Amino acid sequence: MKTVLVTGGAGFIGSALVRHLIRETPVRVVNVDKLTYAGNLESLADVAAHPHYTFAKADVCDASAVCQIMERYQPDTIVHLAAESHVDRSISEPADFVRTNITGTFTLLQEARRYWEQLPPDARAGFRMVHVSTDEVFGSIPEGALACEQSPYRPSSPYAASKAAADHLARAWHETYGLPVVTTNCCNNYGPFQFPEKLIPVTILNALDGKPIPVYGNGENVRDWLYVEDHVAALLAVMRQGRIGETYCVSAQCARSNLSVVRAICELLDEMAPDPRIGTRTALIRLVPDRPGHDFRYALDASRIRNDLGWRPRHDFACGLRKTVEWYLAHRDWTGRVQSGAYRAAYPVAGAGA
């Protein structure tokens, strides 16, 4: 049985990938996560006792710990998702992003290289590392255009810059040392278990509680949205079929303005969870001063992964958003524990980092 090592497997995308691998595929999964504020093992409660699942608490910046984990569990595939990912936090605390996203990626690449080089020939030939990145490395995309794998990097935020640096390191370790790396650049994800600091869960939870819903600037900034389970399917396709040294942009090409997304959520909640004390939830929307370096538009061309690997998203935005709102309505216990910090008591977390 093959072994997949997932870094950041207690995060939003990582936990979705781990849950799918355990439930749907005949592999062992080793989840390596430092458990920062956004790492929540409660998101993996359904698979935690599975005999093919192992959790290893470790910081990807800790070379010794990473080395020991690789030697112990002998992964055939590494999927690197561990990252600081919230742009607002990168503006106020950029050092955390440099440490985790750049130094952490460097450390993982170095240890993966050492591990890979000592494998027997057959195992070396079958090994690969998937480095997962973001569309934000391309910066703001002009109206009517799409970023693709050949687009120049123009990161605007400390977060985007740290991910751009990590992408360059991953490609360099392939070109220089031959490490079998495949890179993906994905658009904004949404869906169940997303930590309530991102636009969609913030909007859902504030709207449910009758609190103001903040939207940056005039709300016309555009983001490209992908349901998290569709991203997982893309990662599986890349793990199995992706060409070594290649990059794949992942997008459902569901571009929407932030304000239109917030309004759609408000309308869904008015339908599914009406509250006469709150009234029409669009009245809760508040335009707030824009954040520094706020890119206006992201949009990706996913032609390569569609044509070469046969991947297609299963959810359009309306379907995915409805499923997401339904999940948050049905899991107020999970969101309540995250909002109160109770999940930290159950699974003590480290400070900001990997």
Report the catalytic residues. Answer: 135-136, 159
- Tokens representing residue 207 in the block: 């709207």
- Tokens representing residue 54 in the block: 């192992």
Find the DSSP H helices in 285-316: 303-309
- Determine phi and psi for 189, rounding to 5 degrees: -95, 155
Q: How far apart are CA 253 and CA 148, in angstroms?
A: 12
Around Cβ 218, how many Cβ atoms within 10 Å?
11
For residue 177, the one-letter residue type is: Y
Q: How far apart are CA 162 and CA 91, in angstroms?
A: 12
Q: How far apart are CA 283 and CA 266, in angstroms?
A: 9
Find the DSSP H helices in 43-98: 63-73, 87-92, 94-97
Nearest to 167 by CA among 181, 178, 156, 179: 181
Q: How far apart are CA 102 and CA 120, in angstroms?
A: 29
Nearest to 32 by CA among 62, 2, 22, 20: 62
Nearest to 93 by CA among 170, 148, 36: 36
Nearest to 131 by CA among 98, 97, 172: 172
Residue 208 CB contacts under 8 Å (≥ 6 apart), including other chains: 269, 273, 328, 329, 332
41 to 20, 32, 38, 55, 324: CA distances (angstroms):
15, 11, 10, 9, 20
